[in-house]
Structure 1
Amino acid sequence: MRTLIVSEFISLDGVVESPDWTFEVVEYDEAAYAIKGREQEEAGCLLLGRQSYDEFAPVWPTMEEFADYNAMPKYVVSSTLENPEWNNTTVLRSLDEVAALKESDEPGTILVHASATLAQGLAEAGLVDRYHLLVYPVVLGTGKRLFPTDSESARQKLSLAEHAVYSNGIQLNVLDVVR
């Protein structure tokens, strides 16, 4: 079974929406982003929600640092997307299809980037195995949150697998879902 990892830039109060703030409010420290290179090396495919796909598809194919992502299989969970233009992209219509993808013998992890709504649905369906969270020392107050506050079914017990703190205050928290 493949490991499904949700990777997010997240504020101290849990906001993951429109992460432009990540580079605007915190001094850059290259060491804090080493996890991103590791994710790209270990990923067998990228799993996105429709909104993230629409934001990434026009930009990432032109960026050299995302060459591995551009080459690997990409899956978009969407009930409306037809004929995706980003190379090597397949549309999944349900979380059952995501579960089947996890059961496949394909190599590498399944990496979910920047898709808060999808991540919440995957967590509630019991499909998330691990979180890679870069926690920024900033409180935003409003915006989409990774973890919902209004659903008891969203409860998850997590185990810290890796932790680091960087010179700019960013914390890396790698958390495994305990089942």
Structure 2
Amino acid sequence: MREIIVTEMLSLDGVIEAPGGETGYRNAGWTFNDVEFDPAAYELKGTEQEEAGALLLGRKSYEAFAPIWPSREEFAGYNAMPRFVVSTTLEGDDGRWPATILRSLDEVKALKTGQSRTDFDRDFDGPLLVHGSATLVRALQEAGLIDKYYLLVFPLLLGAGTRMFSDVSLYTQHLELEEHARYSNGIQKMIYRVKK
């Protein structure tokens, strides 16, 4: 069974919107504009690229990443791995950054368990890594499909903005802290496994 790992940069109040500067959000770029840079805090991103087998993205994040990530050297690992996009509306992939489109959480479950249909299954080792993709993350959380969280928590309160965690009434999900680090700029790395 493949693990699903959600990796996010988030404010202390749970906002994940526009961390890199995407337009339309008043605090866009908060990961770089509002916190002093410490390269050690971002080592997790390199580790993720080495360990992950594939990317699993929601439509909006895929459409934001596809024009940018293929040309970025620091994303070479992500660019080399298979990509899956969960969307009911996407007509086709962006030819610059090919991806397989999944139409439902049932198809995500099939991919996770290795029982997917041959028309979108690919051979790969390692977990499925979810970046951004707030709507998808909340749906995966509600369906109990997330195995781990890789979180970089920034010492900021952003107020309004897209949040990571679901706000529907769920049964308690217990987490086990597997790794923690605090960096000179106040960012904290927290890696949690979801107890099942």
TM-score, normalised to structure 2, is: 0.87
RMSD over equivalenced CA pairs, Å: 1.2
Question: What is aligned with 2:26?
Answer: none
Question: What is aligned with 2:101?
Answer: 91
Question: What is aligned with 1:166?
Answer: 183
Helix, strand or coil at the partner of 1:152: coil
Task: Name the aligned partner's letter for residue 189 of structure 2.
Answer: L
Q: Does 1:67 align with 2:83?
A: no
> Distance in 1 between the 2:166 and 2:60 partners?
18
Matched residue count: 178
> What stretches of structure 2 of length at least 5 have no aligned partner?
20-28, 115-122
> What stretches of structure 1 of length at least 5 have no aligned partner?
none
Question: What is aligned with 1:152?
Answer: 169
> Distance in 2 between the 1:74 and 1:120 partners?
19
Deviates most, 12-21 or 166-175: 12-21
Identical aligned pairs, as a percentage? 59
> Distance in 2 between the 1:154 and 1:93 partners?
26
Shift of 1:71: 1.6
Shift of 1:154: 6.5
> Distance in 2 between the 1:101 and 1:4 partners?
10
Question: What is aligned with 2:152?
Answer: 134
Shift of 1:3: 1.0
Question: What is aligned with 1:2?
Answer: 2
> Distance in 1 between the 2:60 and 2:10 partners?
18
Structure whose residues are more often helix by fraction: 1
> Distance in 1 between the 2:59 and 2:96 partners?
13
TM-score, normalised to structure 1, is: 0.95
Question: What is aligned with 1:115?
Answer: 133
